[in-house]
């Protein structure tokens, strides 16, 4: 059974914090999404504007209330030194089937430091142990090798490739690598939480 939280909690592990987005994140989200890799490998529009960032942050409460998405801002550092690092969410939620999909992106200067791997482990642990999902998937552009390594390092298993799964804005049809973790798999793993 799925237990949907009443509010978006703040989660911390070491120097990584997951928290609800706020208006103070709008400029950081806008700036980060100017990196061409983010729209290249995610659903973020290539022509990302400040209005996109405003809508993104201000739609959070509605997506959460409707049980469509559980989204967090990723911060890195302690206290007043904490800086915006990116965004992570559980989305494509299917309450009846106890499934969700993890999605994330990280600001360019903070990639390669294990921040997003930790964030994926944190949100996966929340999704499986607290909320009750039995399966969480990660779909990754077949060319995004860094994201594929990230999911493996976070405890996910590659299950295969979905041919012609996504249509990009430029009309290209691309393959996506399918990764997943189940509640049985997750509970048998240990990560330093």
Please calculate the CA angle 141-142-143 and round it to the nearest 5 degrees.
90
HEC sequence for 77-128: CCHHHCEEEEEEEEEEEECCCCEEEEEEEECHHHCCCCHHHHHHHHHHHHHH
Q: Tokens for 88?
A: 């992570």
- Per residue of the chain (193 residues), give pLDDT as tens: 889 999 999 999 999 999 999 999 999 999 999 999 999 899 899 899 999 999 999 998 889 999 899 999 999 998 888 999 999 999 999 999 999 999 999 999 999 999 999 999 999 999 999 999 999 999 999 999 999 999 999 999 999 999 999 888 788 899 999 999 999 999 887 666 5
pLDDT (0 to 100) of residue 187? 86
Q: Are 160 and 178 in contact (CB under 8 A)?
A: yes
pLDDT (0 to 100) of residue 101? 97
pTM here?
A: 0.94
Q: Tokens for 184?
A: 């049985």
Q: CA-CA distance, 137 to 71, in Å (whole number)? A: 15
pLDDT (0 to 100) of residue 192? 60
Fold of 11-188: Aminopeptidase (3.40.630)
pLDDT (0 to 100) of residue 190? 65
């Amino acid at each position: 059974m799925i237990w949907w939280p009443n509010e978006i909690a703040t989660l911390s592990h070491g120097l990584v914090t997951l928290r609800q987005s706020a208006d103070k994140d709008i400029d950081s989200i806008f700036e980060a999404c100017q990196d061409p890799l983010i729209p290249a490998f995610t659903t973020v529009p290539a022509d990302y504007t400040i209005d996109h960032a405003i809508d993104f942050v201000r739609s959070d409460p509605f997506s959460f209330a409707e049980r469509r998405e559980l989204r967090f801002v990723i911060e890195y550092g302690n206290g007043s030194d904490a800086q915006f690092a990116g965004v992570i969410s559980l989305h494509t939620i299917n309450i009846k089937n106890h499934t969700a999909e993890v999605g994330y992106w990280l600001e360019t200067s903070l990639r390669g430091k294990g921040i997003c791997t930790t964030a994926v482990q944190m949100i996966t642990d929340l999704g499986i142990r607290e909320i009750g999902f039995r399966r969480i998937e990660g779909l990754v552009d077949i060319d995004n090798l860094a994201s594929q390594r990230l999911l493996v390092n976070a405890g996910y298993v590659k299950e295969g490739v979905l041919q012609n799964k996504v249509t990009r804005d430029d009309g290209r049809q691309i393959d996506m690598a399918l990764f997943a973790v189940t509640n049985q798999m997750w509970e048998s793993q240990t990560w330093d939480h």
